[in-house]
Structure 1
Amino acid sequence: MIRISRAPVPVLAATAACLVLAACSSGGTTTAASSAPPAAARGDGTLSIGTVLPQTGSLAYLGPPMYAGVDLALKEIGEAGGVLGKQVTKIDTDSGDTTTNIASQSVDKLLAQKVDVVIGAASSSVSESILDKIVGAGVVQFSPANTSDKFTTIDDKGLYFRTAPPDKLQGRVLGDLVVADGNDTVGILAMQDSYGTGLADQVTKTAQEGGATVVERVDYDPKAPEFSADVARIKAKNPKAIVLIGFQETGKVVRELVKQGLTTDKVKWYMVDGNMSNTNYLRMPKGAMEGVKGTLPGAAAPEEFQKRLLKVRPNLQEFTYAAESYDATTLVALAAQAAGDDDGRSIAGKLVELSKGGEKCTTFKQCADLLKAGKDIDYDGVSGPVDFDGAGDPSVATIGVYQYRADNTFNAAKAVEYRTGRIAG
């Protein structure tokens, strides 16, 4: 079950809280904890990381913060002396989206260059399409942004990890938020893929358990040229709240909502991590997004961390999943250091134990120094404590609630409130 704190916390006084999950990997044939540390080094001595992150496609706006997180981590790792006495190498590639074969081609390129770890993809559907190829090569796949519940039980050969919590968390928090805001009728517009439909299912379940009625749900084709008929179906049922689950195409959906009179002064809108953007709605009339609430997994990236990100990417405007990307990169580097080996299977064998149970540390240098001193460590990241369960999911996570201002942006450094819950497996 989940218990959600309903009391709002003012922006200036917001204090991060955690969503604590019990490990629940029933049904999976192999879990991420199953890889034992190797008896002898199998890598070549140089940790090589490949990225498969969105440069093009429907999540392209998330590419810059994710690349910034990886680059900042590698900068700090390099300044601390690198991994196994050598600098980490990195190869960047594009993930595209599900309408292209770009991700598969990128993975082929990375595997040909013998990377040890792949960071990505952002889209759950894209990651699912390339997972077999990556883990089949004995390479770790580590996503900073995958939220599909499928990955909890997928056959990953013990080589898949993520720093973003499963959708069931965000869906429950969002559904409860909608009800807590006094909405007893809800319409849902969700993109039709594993991310959209899975999240919509959980929002529906939670909202209905809270006493609300989902009066209409439309699972739409994200590649559609326009969404007038989809929005009209929602309008016909006159809901008090509309939940929008999608990616960049949400901009078109929003324009249609405004066109059909379903503006934020008449209906409450709610969004999710896939469409919470500070750039996607800037061309909308001023105030069009004012008051819209949305959920983002992970603690808000603090202003100090954002300043560090801006040093490696000065024009950064989005910060979503930057912290998770930073933590993913730092963790694989620490795992290679702890294993004394850069091979993917060796790295996977160390990730769970480095995330909990030892002496707490928060930076690569601090953690690496403890490892060199023979200490067990517990890496607590910028995105949260991480604490992997046996399926490679973070067992402790945070969901922040953010609210748009009159300029059609939200403050990515400060949540309006955090929602706290506990899920039994």
Structure 2
Amino acid sequence: MTRISRALAVATAASLALAACSTPNKSGGPNATASASAQQSAAAKGDGTLTIGDVLPQTGSLAFLGPPEFAGIHLAIKEINDAGGALGKPVVSIDTDSGDTTTNIASQSVDKLLAQKADAIIGAASSAVSKSIIDKITRAGVIQFSPANTSDEFTTIKDNGLYFRTAPPDKLQGRVLGDLVVSDGNDTIGILAMQDSYGTGLADQVTKTAEANGGQVVARADYDPKAADFSADVAKIKEKKPKAIVLIGFEETAKVVQELVKQGLTADKFKWYMVDGNMSNTNYAKDPKGTLAGVKGTIPGAAAPTAFQKRLLTVDSKLTNYTYAAESYDAAILIALAAEAAKSDAGVDIAAKLADVSKGGEKCTSYKACHELLKAGKDIDYDGVSGPVEFNDAGDPSVATIGIYQYGADNKYDAAKALEYRKGDIAG
């Protein structure tokens, strides 16, 4: 079944909910609240005003990703409304916090957004957080659109045709990182990965690629990110003395780094590699200068162009990190364009048009230009700041770019300058 037919099936299911007191969830258990049925009905019908909510990290282990993601959405909403809005009205934008997996903040935020008639919700940044809220969002007939989820699980997850993302699945980032590690001359590799869908999935792909290219993962520790101490995990890696150490995690990586240094596995003796979840210019600010010198890492997406960065600064003058800003911006633009193409703000109607506006029509690169083409009855192909997007049937971008970055002696990497970019086909 295609995503369009799955999305339309949701509309039918939502209308049936009007006559029922409960609806089944994935495990077959009841959802017996009248408010849930009311939210589902409202989302299925729409009210003529496109409302885009977001569930993104203001707090928690990925809080450093919040500012660029919020800025991307705010800039997009401003440009959409400056161009006349969507469906003849200004788009309504509502910000909420996602927290992380140690809290229930994301679920509470989703409840708030559904009560305020959100038609689409952008977020979460964390794959694990998104997994915790995807049922609640999609059961309500609302689109969930993440700018930063990279877990491979979302390609096949049950989503009623309502989950999309502008970030590529980790099978591409994992392939690029695994290839990079081996091509840098490392034939033995140790992996320290947080134990969740993001960490273990990415570690699996890095292992597969590295070993296919002649490398060997001689030690791997999948750790609890909430652990108070990582000494045993690091000791497991130290015992095998790998040439390269791959660090896959979030904010807790700062503590892992301190333990690596404590046990003598410093970046000047072993080659360290990081990923988008821990490539930060703030988490390692307190470490001695040179701690991360030469460390490489991968971040999905092309660098935010200089002109785009300047536009972002008009909505957040304090912005210093641009990771996933472009993907967040494109998510909001695509939702508005799909609403225009569908002539509806209902989530299921928008979902049925998202793939259409992302490929196969007349090229356009701004909301204003694309909007004018739609009003003229043209089929459009929006090429975004983050790339061509072009959704496949799973709601993933079919082609994506991975940037490779390197830390300097100041324990920072230049977010606007990559060592190189590698493009790949998601299905490859």
Using the size of structure 2 for normalisation, the TM-score is 0.90
Q: How far apart, in 1, do the equivalents of 2:100 and 2:427 lie? A: 33
Aligned residue type for 2:262: K
The 5 A counterparts of 1:218-229 are 218-229=221-232
Does residue 348 of the first structure (1) align with residue 351 of the second (2)? Answer: yes
The 5 A counterparts of 1:159-238 are 159-238=162-241
Equivalenced residues, count = 396
Q: How far apart, in 2, do the equivalents of 1:370 and 1:406 lie? A: 49
For residue 33 of structure 1, report the CA deviation from its aligned partner: 6.3
1:251 aligns with one of 245, 249, 254: 254
Q: How far apart, in 1, do the equivalents of 2:138 and 2:188 lie? A: 44
Contact kept? 1:149, 1:166, Cα under 8 Å: yes
- Matching residue of 1:35: 7
- Matching residue of 1:394: 397
- 1:255-313, CA deviations, whole angstroms, 9 ceiling, x for partnerless residues? 11112211111000000010011111111111211111100111111121111111111
Q: How far apart, in 2, do the equivalents of 1:77 and 1:422 lie? A: 30
Q: How far apart, in 1, do the equivalents of 2:286 and 2:198 lie? A: 26
Aligned residue type for 1:81: G
Contact kept? 1:287, 1:406, Cα under 8 Å: yes
Q: How far apart, in 2, do the equivalents of 1:423 and 1:344 lie? A: 26
Instruction: Identify the structure with the greater helix proportion.
Output: 2
1:263 aligns with one of 238, 262, 266: 266
- Matching residue of 1:406: 409
What SS does the corresponding residue of 1:215 show, helix, strand or coil? strand
Q: How far apart, in 2, do the equivalents of 1:421 and 1:314 lie? A: 33
Identity of matched residues, %? 74
What SS does the corresponding residue of 1:142 show, helix, strand or coil? strand
- Matching residue of 2:30: none
Of structures 1 and 2, the one scoring higher in RCO (CA 8 A, sep 6+) is: 1
1:151 aligns with one of 148, 151, 154: 154
- Matching residue of 2:387: 384
Does residue 141 of the first structure (1) align with residue 144 of the second (2)? Answer: yes
Q: How far apart, in 2, do the equivalents of 1:148 and 1:31 lie? A: 19
Contact kept? 1:279, 1:318, Cα under 8 Å: no
Q: How far apart, in 1, do the equivalents of 2:365 and 2:184 lie? A: 36
Does residue 366 of the first structure (1) align with residue 369 of the second (2)? Answer: yes
Q: Following TM superposition, where does structure 1 have runs of at least 4 consecutive aligned residues deviating by more than 2 angstroms?
A: 29-39, 420-425
Aligned residue type for 1:224: A
- 1:117-173, CA deviations, whole angstroms, 9 ceiling, x for partnerless residues? 000001111111111110111100000011111111111111110000101010011
- 1:346-381, CA deviations, whole angstroms, 9 ceiling, x for partnerless residues? 110110010000111111001101111111110011
Aligned residue type for 1:31: R
Contact kept? 1:270, 1:292, Cα under 8 Å: yes
Contact kept? 1:332, 1:351, Cα under 8 Å: yes
Aligned residue type for 1:227: F
For residue 422 of structure 1, report the CA deviation from its aligned partner: 4.0
Using the size of structure 1 for normalisation, the TM-score is 0.90
Contact kept? 1:185, 1:214, Cα under 8 Å: yes
1:375 aligns with one of 373, 378, 400: 378
Structure 2 CA distance for partners of 1:422 and 1:133, relative to 1, 3 Å:
closer
Contact kept? 2:49, 2:87, Cα under 8 Å: yes
